């Protein structure tokens, strides 16, 4: 299998002179998804945790509702990329054929197999999880990301998506050059381990676009925390989906954009009107 990182030679301009050296960088490869022999999407991704990617992508794209609907998965490495061959059980195989699409997506593509504006702008089922968190719990979850991102620790060039459970800490973390891919891998890892997202927090090291919120809703995450800002559409969809959206989360605090009732007010949280 292709290694997720590679060390290459480089020439740096430092201190007014050229210096020869080496740098560890993330690998990126074309990953093709096929279902029952039919092509669906080609994503540029990190060749790591591909079983999770296959399951998670299938879940967040609505192709399956459960990993049990996958009869077989093969990971086939080719000269120009990797093919994830999935075989769906009936009646899911027939249902997939009815929505068969061909799409080639760049790194970070988040809308695959979409044909209409209605599909692209879908509002997920509302999450009604009544769990509550303290601000210090959110900060603790963010701080715990440091040191856990193995690939990013080597390259400083990949996104991470993690699931934090109060009392347990971060129990799942996945990385990828694409932020959507990292979240899909997280979805697959949770589903394959039969771990419910109820009562937990999703953490992403990226900005929050609408498809990130839609994927979080399909996972069932009541709260999504990001280190960068959300788009306006992401805020509207999170509001409609019942997701607490926390963004611009840094070492000195964070900003709440939707459903703040899930975050308990205490002395460490001050809301400015």
Confirm if 227 and 254 have CB atoms less than 8 A apart: no
Determine the pLDDT at residue 147. Answer: 85
Domain boundaries, the chain: 29-120, 135-262
Strands 244-250 and 223-226: parallel
Choosing from 109, 142, 226, 243, the catalytic residue is 109
Determine the pLDDT at residue 146. Answer: 81
Q: Over the stretch 68-121, which tens digit does the pLDDT of each residue have?
A: 999 999 999 999 999 999 999 998 888 888 766 444 444 445 555 555 566 656
Determine the pLDDT at residue 122. Answer: 66
Distance of CA 106 to the CA centre of its chain: 15
Determine the pLDDT at residue 121. Answer: 63
Q: Which two tokens stand for residue 123?
A: 């509002």
Element holding 94 (H helix, E strand): helix 92-98
Output the CATH code of domain 29-120.
Answer: 3.10.20.10
Determine the pLDDT at residue 105. Answer: 46
Burial, 117: exposed, middle or buried (Cβ in 10 Å; 0-12, 13-18, 19+)?
exposed
Burial profile 172-185: b = 16 or more Cβ within 10 angstroms, e = fewer: bbbbbbbbbbbbbb
Q: Could you confirm whether 109 is annotated as catalytic?
A: yes
> Alpha-carbon distance 30 to 176, whole Å?
13
In the chain, how long is the greatest CA-to-CA distance? 65
Which CATH class, in words, describes the domain spanning 135-262?
Answer: alpha beta
Burial, 133: exposed, middle or buried (Cβ in 10 Å; 0-12, 13-18, 19+)?
buried
CA torsion sign, 216 to 219 to 225 to 226? negative
Low-confidence spans in the chain with pLDDT less than 50:
101-108, 268-273
Determine the pLDDT at residue 93. Answer: 87
């Amino acid at each position: 299998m292709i290694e997720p990182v590679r060390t290459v030679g480089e020439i740096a301009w430092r201190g007014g002179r050229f210096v020869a050296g080496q740098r560890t960088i993330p690998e990126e490869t074309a990953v093709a998804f096929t279902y029952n022999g039919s092509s669906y999407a080609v994503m540029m991704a990190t060749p790591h945790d591909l079983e999770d990617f296959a399951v998670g992508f299938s879940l967040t794209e609505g192709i399956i509702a459960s990993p049990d609907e996958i009869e077989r998965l093969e990971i086939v490495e080719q000269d120009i990329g990797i093919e994830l061959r999935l075989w769906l059980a009936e009646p899911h195989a027939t249902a997939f054929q009815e929505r068969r699409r061909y799409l080639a997506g760049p790194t970070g593509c988040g809308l695959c197999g979409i044909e209409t504006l209605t599909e692209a702008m879908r509002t997920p089922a509302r999450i009604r999880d009544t769990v509550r968190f303290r601000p210090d719990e959110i900060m603790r979850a963010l701080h715990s990301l440091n040191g856990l991102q193995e690939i990013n620790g080597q390259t400083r060039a990949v996104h991470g998506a993690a699931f934090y459970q109060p009392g347990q800490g971060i129990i799942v973390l996945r990385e990828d050059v694409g932020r959507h891919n990292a979240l899909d891998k997280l979805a697959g890892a949770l589903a394959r381990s039969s771990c419910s997202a109820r009562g937990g927090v999703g953490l992403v090291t990226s900005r929050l676009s609408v498809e990130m919120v839609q994927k979080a809703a399909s996972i069932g995450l009541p709260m999504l925390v990001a280190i960068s800002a959300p788009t306006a559409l992401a805020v509207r969809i999170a509001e409609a989906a019942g997701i607490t959206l926390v963004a611009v989360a840094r070492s000195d605090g964070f900003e709440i954009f939707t459903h703040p009732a899930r975050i308990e007010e205490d002395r460490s949280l001050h809301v400015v009107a």
